[in-house]
Amino acid sequence: MQKTLVLVFHPNLAQSKANKHLMHRLQQQQSEYQIIDMYQLYPDGIIDATAETQRLLSCSRLVLQFPVFWYSTPPLLKAWQDAVLTPMYYLNYATEGALLQGLPVLLAATAGNTVEAYSPQGSNRYQLEQLFIPLKATAHRCGWVWHSPFVVYQAMKATPEILASEGERYLDYLRQWQNAV
């Protein structure tokens, strides 16, 4: 069985509470996951599209893990989409993009605010699912199979006990997803 590829897009993982904890929890399960800290790999923001294409072509499932920044993804995730997906799906579709038809994809996101803040009555007005529509559209365009995102709310305020609980919930969520696809 091929590993699930987990691309972690956090610009300062050393300062992170939730993303760092989630990543470390998965690293304890090394046989199941290939985990890449994308900002550590590409600190200058220049992405090796060839290497990333090969990494994608060798996985059986994809997880994009990131903190929500101003209702969007961190800049390197967008740069990764541009550098990797554009050639795969617009220039080399038959030899690259088509090979990933049906790839299961999952978002694992952390948000600093409460779930209530991400509601029509809340301070952010929109649910995270609505804010993820551009990513869902990308998955659709690529022919990937979208799954409901895993989200940790109030990530910056999480206590060690909450982080431990969220780490277990993340692992359980990924295992259920892997068993379903």
pLDDT single digits (tens) 127-145? 999 999 999 999 999 999 9
Measured in degrees and rounded to the nearest 5, phi and psi for residue 11 equal -65, -15
> What are the Cα distances from residue 89, in Å, to 58, 104, 175?
16, 16, 29
151: CB partners within 8 A, 6+ apart: 108, 109, 110, 111, 128
Each residue's pLDDT tens digit, 20-74: 999 999 999 878 899 999 999 999 999 999 999 999 999 999 999 999 999 999 9
Instruction: Please give the domain boundaries of the chain with CATH numbers for all domains.
Output: 4-180 (3.40.50.360)
Q: Count CB neighbours of 169 within 10 A.
A: 14
Q: Output the CA–CA distances (angstroms, integers) from residue 26 to 7, 32, 51, 87, 165, in the order listed.
A: 12, 8, 22, 30, 13
Q: Is residue 105 within 8 Å of 146, Cβ to Cβ?
A: yes
- pLDDT at position 31 is 80
Angstrom distance (rounded) from CA 145 to CA 14 = 32
d(CA 12, CA 159): 19
Quick one: pLDDT at residue 181?
83
Q: Are 100 and 142 in contact (CB under 8 A)?
A: yes
CA distances from 129 to 6, 32, 41, 43, 146 (A): 20, 27, 28, 29, 12
Residue 2, amino acid? Q
Q: What is the DSSP letter of 2?
A: P
Note the pLDDT of residue 1.
Answer: 43
Tens digits of residue pLDDT in 156-173: 999 999 999 999 999 999
Which tens digit of pLDDT belongs to each residue from 81-130?
999 999 999 999 999 999 999 999 999 999 999 999 999 999 999 999 99
CA separation, residue 64 to residues 30, 91, 151, 161 (Å): 17, 23, 12, 24
Token pair of 16, please?
A: 């992170």
First to last CA, the chain: 12
Q: Quick one: how far is CA 69 from the chain centroid?
A: 13
* Number of other CB atoms surrounding residue 148 within 10 Å: 11
Q: Is the pLDDT reported for residue 17 higher than 60?
A: yes
